[in-house]
Structure 1
Amino acid sequence: MGTRTIRRTSVTLPALDEPGLYLSNVTSLEGGRGRVSDFQYGNADLRALDLADVHLLDGRISGLRAQRTRLEKVRVDSVEFTGCDLASLHWSDSKVTRAVFRDCKLMGAVLEGVTFDDVVFENCKLDYSTLTHVRTAGAVIFSGCSLRETVFEAANLTKAAFDDCDLRLTEFNGGQCRGLDLRGNDLSQLRGLASLKQVIIDRAQTLQLAEALATELSVTYGEDLDAK
């Protein structure tokens, strides 16, 4: 069982190459009795993907494209998502454990009440998304992701790490961020700095936070006034 580590944060990855595990091709993620296990699903172009009360266990989902996606009370265990484009994603009241989202487009997504435990987002686009009351029960890594104008609303990010991400106008509003690792990112355009108490940064990033704070406070520099 492999792991992905960024500094002090280590995520346990899905164990999909274990001896004796065979993934069968499936044509739907709905499954019988609300459970889909040991599966491969992909290269599908859907008008809508609606899943409720479904358990996805031990599988790979690749090249899935949906014009509208709604997931409610969906449990995900040991699943890899690769190259998926889930437009208008609304994901609520769910738990995601040992999962990887790689090269996925989740732009404008709305996530509400989703719990993450050992999850990696790698090279994903989550611009303009809103994550409300999401919780990191276990380690979560965002690596090389774009989160422009993404809003974390009342989120618990105490076990998360961001690395080499685009955080332009990313906003943190309330929630818990103690221990959130923001090293390795440009923080100069963050919003909601009051919510980032007790996060982890490098000393060199202090100036970036100062720049973000000056913007957030809409300060006026005296030398600019004197030059007029």
Structure 2
Amino acid sequence: MVRNGRQQSVKAARRPELRLPDLTAWEGPELEPDGDYDGLEFADLDLAGQEGVGARFMDCAVRRCALDEAGLAKARILDSVLEGVRGVGTDLSGASLRDVELVDARLGGVQLHGAGLERVVVRGGKIDYLNLRKARLRDVVFEGCVLVEPDFGGAVLERVEFRDCALRGVDFSGVRMADVDLREAVVLEIARGVDALAGAVISPAQLFDLAPALASQLGVRVVP
């Protein structure tokens, strides 16, 4: 496969193909633990602090909602769109996201440790202190977004792409990678885990920028 005139050397991520049905506006007072939400639209709502632990969202749209401290651990979000959501401390630990688009989010301290992400696109927006420790990411694309100090420690990344996005202070400690494409990241600042890049593809310019960290990892002194 040829991309931009060069031979593709990494398997491309498979993107979600979402076709939402006609949605019904959600009118419930609050989310419920283990709740079942199918074909619903959550729009312009304050869901801060609500508890939806273990809930299932199928063919849903969540638009412009506040998710501060929302408890969504072990939730299942399937074939859904989250657009313009915002909040600090949203708990999605152990959650499962499959065939999901997260668009123009403004989030901080999101807990996704131990989560499973498959065929997920994160497009636009900014996420600070994203916790993906020990998560499993397969066919995930980060596109046109800003990630500040994301933590991928101990995670498994397979067919993950970073396109036109900024990775600032990323932690890749103990990560296992296969077909991870970092070439089109506009900023690649690796705070920890440069030794875990086996299985990733980077550009020549990125290699030059990472050379001091790589030399330090290998115990090589560069003396003029």
Q: What's the TM-score, normalizing by structure 1?
A: 0.83
Deviation at 1:214, TM superposition (A): 5.7
- Structure 2 matches for 1:1-228, cutoff 5 A? 8-16=12-20, 21-28=21-28, 30=31, 34-136=35-137, 138-186=138-186, 189-191=189-191, 192-213=193-214, 222-223=223-224
Deviation at 1:49, TM superposition (A): 2.5
Structure 1 contact 187–212 (Cα < 8 Å) conserved: no
Query: Using the alignment, how far apart are the partners of 1:94 and 1:59 within structure 2?
Result: 16
Between 1:78-87 and 1:120-129, the stretch displaced more is 120-129
Backbone CA RMSD of aligned residues: 2.6
1:52-72 Cα deviation digits (max 9, x unpaired): 121100011101013312212
Structure 2 contact 195–217 (Cα < 8 Å) conserved: no
Judged with a 3 Å threshold, the aligned counterparts in structure 2 of structure 1 residues 150 and 32 are, in CA distance, closer, same or farther, namely: closer
Judged with a 3 Å threshold, the aligned counterparts in structure 2 of structure 1 residues 203 and 196 are, in CA distance, closer, same or farther, namely: same
Between 1:112-121 and 1:200-209, the stretch displaced more is 200-209
Deviation at 1:106, TM superposition (A): 2.1
Judged with a 3 Å threshold, the aligned counterparts in structure 2 of structure 1 residues 187 and 85 are, in CA distance, closer, same or farther, namely: closer
Query: Using the alignment, how far apart are the partners of 1:58 and 1:68 within structure 2?
Result: 23
Q: What's the TM-score, normalizing by structure 2?
A: 0.84
Query: Using the alignment, how far apart are the partners of 2:219 and 2:63 within structure 1?
Result: 44
Between 1:95-104 and 1:157-166, the stretch displaced more is 157-166
Unaligned runs of 5+ in 1: 1-6, 224-228
Structure 1 contact 188–211 (Cα < 8 Å) conserved: no
Count of residues paired in the alignment: 213
